Amino acid sequence: MRLNQIYASMNELGIKSLLVSDPKAISYAIDKMFHVSERFIGLLLQEENAVLFLNQLFPYENNEIEIVRFHDIEDPIALVSDRIDGDELFVDRNLTSGFLLRLMKRQPDLRIREGSFAIDRIRAKKSLEEQEKMRVASRLNDQVMGEVKRRLKLGVRETEIADFIRQRFDEIADGVSFDPIVAFGPATADPHAEATDRVLEAGMPIIIDMGCKKDNYCSDMTRSFCASKPWNQEVYELVREANLAGISAVKPGVKLSEIDAASRKIIEDAGYGEFFIHRLGHGIGQEVHEPFDVSGVSEIIAFEGMCFSIEPGIYLPGIGGVRIEDLVLVTSEGCEVLNAYPKELEIVG
């Protein structure tokens, strides 16, 4: 369990009471994942003491923490309210408004503050063991991307490639970390395109965005290809240059917004800024999307051990797009790129 690390983080931030409701954050803290659907789950941390509020439908024993059980006909918020010490409570961003409003009604004078950062910054700093698991997952991604490339033949369907990716990660990993994005032709202009029966034809751009999960850690990588002939060499090279510029900007002490800006400037200066329509990247670890965002509004400063994506893209509506994504691990002097699959333009088919 990582409770001692969280207590230290809370002390440093001056947080005396923290209610964690995100099942994935709770899993990170106590090494147990609960799938409670719409039901309440909460981990109340205060004075270096942990109390887990858990519906009796979910069997669980842990001698190191107190477990407060409740029934569907009981109000868990009343139980939580009775255990809060002091007049200030920090909650995570995942506490739903229904539960929060009930708590505020019971304690109208309780000061509610946002406290996700206390755990987010611990999750973002990967231990040496976590770093190695991230490398392994990314190596598997590199391997399957090479296998995918060999199957990108004229006449193949998006769904066939997506099914192959799922099958391979079921075989060599613990499944996919997210449903793969496989897009041909105009569909590549949609960053979150869903695979269809679209057939690969000569001249089409191709985007493959995929990741696996291995030993509870995720990978994520995107590569773009062209069928039979280059689709738009200028756009491809701009995206590749932007990817490399973002990677070059990564080092401890740099704001994540500055990394986004370094990559985005390449695309904006070439006149394609309006077609780069998303943040540069996102944190990754046990979840494929974790804190912190690599975006133009992020005030978070990069520190050693962080792992996040660098994934610039240009998307021309109705025509096509290009995205190139790598994962980077922040080191003492810069970063380690976890993906080894080539980024030069490859012609398939």
Instruction: Report all structural domains of the chain as residue ranges with CATH numbers, in order of start.
Output: 3-123 (3.40.350.10), 125-348 (3.90.230.10)
List, for residues 268-295, the tens digit of each pLDDT value: 999 999 999 999 999 999 999 999 999 9
pTM: 0.93
- Token pair listed for 317: 């509506």
Counting as low any pLDDT under 70, the low residues of the chain are none
Q: At 206, which helix (H) or strand (E)?
A: strand 205-210
Q: What is the DSSP string of 269-333?
A: HTT-GGG--S-SEEE-SSSSSEEEEESTT--PBP-TT-EEEE--EEEETTTEEEE-BEEEEE-SS
pLDDT digits (tens, 9 = 90+) for 20-34: 999 999 999 999 999
Residue type at position 26 = I
Cα–Cα distance, 209 to 218 (Å, whole number): 13
Supply the pLDDT for residue 341: 98
